[in-house]
């Protein structure tokens, strides 16, 4: 079969590019706040050149072959960049699908006298660009997952602050659910601060932890044990009545772990261990 699409694209590349850019600009989801028209034109021109070079091989069915490597590399890079920039999956998919629309428009104009060839070429180019759009979406999803993982890590970092509440006393308020990754961050931050400050008491406040199950309890015990290995004592505060009932019901063994109902109670205990007394100042007469 003659490679009609390749001939048309080579002959009317500028027309295809112009129609493609027009299709993208007219799409209501275009994010001009995230990408300028000049950037859009540059990206589209680069991809179209690689695409035309690939289809000259006559291969319209297997995008895993070498001639499509440059096309897929551009799409992967573009998709990941758009995921980082905040584009939606639909906006990214439209980028490739609007190219299909542009090519079909030019093919209809060029091959209108030969309807059989026109239909064959449209089917072939549609299947090819549908496959490339799937590659684009897969790369976009991968990029979005990387963004989510990075943001989750950053949130975990800032949501586990170690506070020096008194000389020799640290406090770490925990808000939200504990999992293995977050427990690791908590332990690292707490142990590092114990080293930095030489503190001998650490208070883990779990008032902001919605539920305590066996897994959460195990994470807490790991943190307590790690703190002890550093020569510091750990107090768990914020044990609400419902959490106490859950711990008993689950048969979780917190033997040897000092627990308090509130941060204030934990602080009083810590002051006692440090042989300190806090009193109110007498009012001036």
Higher pLDDT, 240 or 181: 240
Average pLDDT of 158-186?
Answer: 81
**What mean pLDDT value characterizes the chain?**
85
| Per-residue pLDDT at 96 | 86
Average pLDDT of 7-28?
Answer: 86
Q: Is the pLDDT of residue 30 over 80?
A: no
**Minimum mean pLDDT range among 30-44, 116-130, 166-180:** 30-44
Q: Is the pLDDT of residue 33 over 70?
A: no
Average pLDDT of 167-186?
Answer: 82
Cα-based distances in Å from 223 to 34, 51, 58, 91, 189: 43, 55, 62, 44, 11
Confidence of residue 169 (pLDDT cuts 50, 70, 90): very high
Q: Is the pLDDT of residue 252 over 50?
A: yes
Domain residue limits, the chain: 4-155, 163-273
| Per-residue pLDDT at 32 | 62
DSSP one-letter code for 67 = G
Which residues, 6+ apart, have CB-to-CB distance to 23 below 8 Å?
98, 101, 102
Average pLDDT of 214-231?
Answer: 85
Q: Is the pLDDT of residue 223 over 90?
A: no
At the topology level of CATH, where does 4-155 sit? Globin-like (1.10.490)
Nearest-5° angle of CA 64, CA 67, CA 71? 80
Average pLDDT of 10-18?
Answer: 91
Confidence of residue 1 (pLDDT cuts 50, 70, 90): very low
Structural element, H or E, at residue 175: strand 169-175
Q: Residue holding tokens 């293995």?
A: 180
Q: Is the pLDDT of residue 144 over 90?
A: no
Q: Is the pLDDT of residue 207 over 50?
A: yes
Average pLDDT of 251-259?
Answer: 80
| Per-residue pLDDT at 159 | 63
Q: How far apart are CA 57 and CA 144, in angstroms?
A: 33
Query: Are 4-155 and 163-273 in the same CATH fold?
Result: no
Q: Partners of 169 in the beta sheet?
A: 166, 201
Name the token pair of 161. 């602050």
| Per-residue pLDDT at 170 | 93
Segment 86-137, tens digit of pLDDT? 888 888 888 888 899 999 999 999 888 889 989 999 999 999 999 998 889 8
Q: Provide, rounded to the nearest whole percent, the portion of the chain with pLDDT above 70.
A: 94
| Per-residue pLDDT at 161 | 81
At the topology level of CATH, where does 163-273 sit? Transcription Regulator spoIIAA (3.30.750)
**pTM here?**
0.57
């Amino acid at each position: 079969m003659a490679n009609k699409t390749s001939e048309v694209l080579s002959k009317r590349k500028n027309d295809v590019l112009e129609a493609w850019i027009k299709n993208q600009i007219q799409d209501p989801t275009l994010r001009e706040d995230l990408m300028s028209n000049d950037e859009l034109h540059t990206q589209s021109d680069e991809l179209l050149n690689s695409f035309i070079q690939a289809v000259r091989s006559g291969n319209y069915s297997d995008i895993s072959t070498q001639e499509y490597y440059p096309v897929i590399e551009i799409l992967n890079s573009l998709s990941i960049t758009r995921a980082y920039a905040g584009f939606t999956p639909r906006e990214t998919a439209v980028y490739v699908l609007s190219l299909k629309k542009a090519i079909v428009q030019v093919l209809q104009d060029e091959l209108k006298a030969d309807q059989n060839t026109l239909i064959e070429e449209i089917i072939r180019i549609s299947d090819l660009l549908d496959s490339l759009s799937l590659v684009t979406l897969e790369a976009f999803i991968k990029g979005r997952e990387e963004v989510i993982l990075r943001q989750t890590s950053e949130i975990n970092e800032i949501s586990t602050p170690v506070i020096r509440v008194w000389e020799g006393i640290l406090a770490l308020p925990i808000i939200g659910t504990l999992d293995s990754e977050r427990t690791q961050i908590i332990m690292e931050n707490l142990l590092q601060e114990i080293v930095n400050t030489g503190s001998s008491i650490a208070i883990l406040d779990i008032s902001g932890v919605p539920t305590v199950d066996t897994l959460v309890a195990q994470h807490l015990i790991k943190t307590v044990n790690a703190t002890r290995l550093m020569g510091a004592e750990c107090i768990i505060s914020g044990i609400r009545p419902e959490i106490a009932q859950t711990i008993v019901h689950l048969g979780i063994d917190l033997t040897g772990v000092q627990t308090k109902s509130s941060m204030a109670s934990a602080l009083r205990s810590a002051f006692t261990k440090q042989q300190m007394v806090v009193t109110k100042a007498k009012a001036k007469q």
